[in-house]
Amino acid sequence: MESMKPILAVARHFTPEVNARIDRDFEPRWNPNEQPWTQDELLQAADGADAVLVSPVNKLDARFFSLLSNSVKVIATFSVGYDHIDLAAAHARGIPVSHTPGVLTDATADVGMLLLLGASRRAYEAQQRLRSGLWASSKGDLLGWSLQGKVLGIYGMGRIGQALAHRARAFGMQVHYNNRSRLSPDEEQGAVFHEDAASLLRVSQFLSLNAPASQDTRHFLRTENIDLLPAGAIVINTARGALVNDDDLITALKSGRIAAAGLDVFEGEPKLNPGYLDLPNAFLLPHIGSATVETRTAMGMLALDNIEAVLKGRPAPTLLRN
């Protein structure tokens, strides 16, 4: 008699290797559409399931957990960040939740450099002009700003922040950072520590947001902090959209107080504030920080490792604690 496979509600498709493992080891309930499941659709898919695999576009709040099927034994999110999940509500139901740290560090740091370069060298404007049949004029109206010798302030010096710092040094940037605790000298690699964020902002010609989303960091980049930055600073965000007050940043981009911004994450994504779309100095990406075949495969495999460990009663590699 063939053994029963655990039922897995799968909110999105992954790389071929991950999809093949899901089909092999589980009885999957796939999201058949490109659009994310609504919360009610996800609840329906999870009804009677053993596990649920989601991504940051799926909001798992207190309502979700109050209605979630008693059959669900574990939830895995295909992400490092977990601000889309009410951990307290999950743990009140006794449902462990896992995430995928570590495996996407380098890919996200690479996109951080892409944003620094794209924003500072006005890549979006140049692309627009070329695709419109035009060329850069002799008036210097596509002049950007060099990274060499500039101060890069990193707000949140975790794995990705440190990986970005390593790359930025190769471009000749001076790295400063603010973090909940100071790194060891080996980890700092000469970076300058600032005990408070305000001190960091005052020297950051370039600012990279790398802190996790929390009540303390929500809308960190707002007018009062933007005003602390040097005039004409450039800002990038590969962390979470909630770190930015969109209206305040858009106002600063329009006025030139902020020269340019490079954004890979947005509050409320996949929707974003439409004010960004008409700004030539906003270099925008659709949350592709981890979007390499290798990284997305590693993330998917880690998520499945966590699910299988919980279902088989083994210690899971990367469970979240409330």
* Active site amino acids: 240, 269, 287
Query: Which residues are CB-contacts of 315 (< 8 A; sequence separation ≥ 6)?
Result: 309
Buried b (16+ CB within 10 A) or exposed e, 75-109: bbbbbbbbbbbbbebbeeeebbbbbbbebbbbbbb
Q: For the chain, how far is it from start to end, CA to CA, in angstroms?
A: 40
CB 244 within 8 A of CB 237: yes
List the helix and strand counts (H, then E) for the chain.
12, 12
The residue type found at 235 is V
The residue type found at 100 is T
Rounded CA Rg of the chain: 21
CB 147 within 8 A of CB 120: yes
* 179 alpha-carbon distance from chain centroid: 18
Instruction: For residue 115, give the 3-state DSSP assignment.
Output: helix
* 275 alpha-carbon distance from chain centroid: 21
What DSSP state is assigned to residue 221?
B
Q: Annotate 131-176 with DSSP letters as a single string.
A: HTT----TT-TT-----TT-EEEEE--SHHHHHHHHHHHHTTPEEE
CA–CA–CA angle 252, 167, 295 (5° rounding):
95
